[in-house]
Amino acid sequence: MRRLLTGLLGALVLAGCSTGTSAVDVNNGGEFRFVAGTPAGEVLPPGERAGAPQFSGTLLGGGEFSSAELDGDVAVLNFWGSWCPPCRVETPQFQEVYADVRDRGVAFLGLNVKETSEQFATAFVASEGIEFPSLYDPRGEVALAFRDYPANAIPSTIVLDRQGRVAAVYTGEVAQEDLRAVLDMLLAEEG
């Protein structure tokens, strides 16, 4: 009976993560649970945007990073893990978008959370040819700083406007066309 329950739980977990519209909650004492995603995301009008929390950490491969480095740019913050199937789909697509917009005042930052080994995260980034930096945040401390948005589900993506305010929130896998549309909108804004 115990094996049957364990097998069913495992199947449910895998089914929830593989749909692309679900995400795993990492803000519940280290246990993972799947929550419904918001595939189209939520884009906030300028008057409803709040400032993003400040954060810092260590980059994969070494070096320190501070959120102050994002000041003045539109910024894409993607919370991911190499163990997350939707992350494996969207991360190479993020690289494509990044290659197209990095010279237009758009910064990308990956935030690797709940990873059992930095080696797994580094291998994933290398295998996918990801050129934008990622923080190594195995305890999810930066995700906790963004818990109001909610970055406590993996994958999650938060897009900041040039003033460092949260302009869009995606829980679950982000479609490339949705990300491009919000970036175009933010780049067109005065400021």
User: What is the residue-averaged pLDDT of the chain?
Assistant: 82
pLDDT at 83 over 50: yes
Q: What span, in angstroms and rounded, lies between the C-alpha atoms of 87 and 81?
A: 7
pLDDT band at 150 (very low <50, low <70, confident <90, very high): low
Q: pLDDT digit string (tens) for 35-74? A: 444 455 889 999 999 999 999 999 998 999 999 999 999 9
Cβ atoms of 136 and 60 closer than 8 Å = yes
Task: Give backbone dihedrals phi and psi of 41, rounded to 5 degrees, phi first.
Answer: 75, -175
Q: What span, in angstroms and rounded, lies between the C-alpha atoms of 126 and 117?
A: 15
Q: Assign residue 92 a region: left if phi > 0, alpha if psi is -120 to 50, beta otherwise?
A: alpha
- 3 vs 152 pLDDT, higher one: 152
Report CA-CA distances (Å) from 127 to 46, 66, 69, 111, 141. Answer: 37, 26, 26, 17, 26
pLDDT band at 147 (very low <50, low <70, confident <90, very high): confident
CATH homologous superfamily of 2-188: Glutaredoxin (3.40.30.10)
pTM of this prediction? 0.80
Work out whether the CA dihedral 136, 55, 132, 100 comes out positive or negative. Answer: positive
Q: Which tokens sit at 170?
A: 């995606």
Q: Which tokens sit at 135?
A: 């923080």
Peptide bond into 92 cis (omega under 30): no
pLDDT at 11 over 50: no
Q: Domain ranges in the chain?
A: 2-188
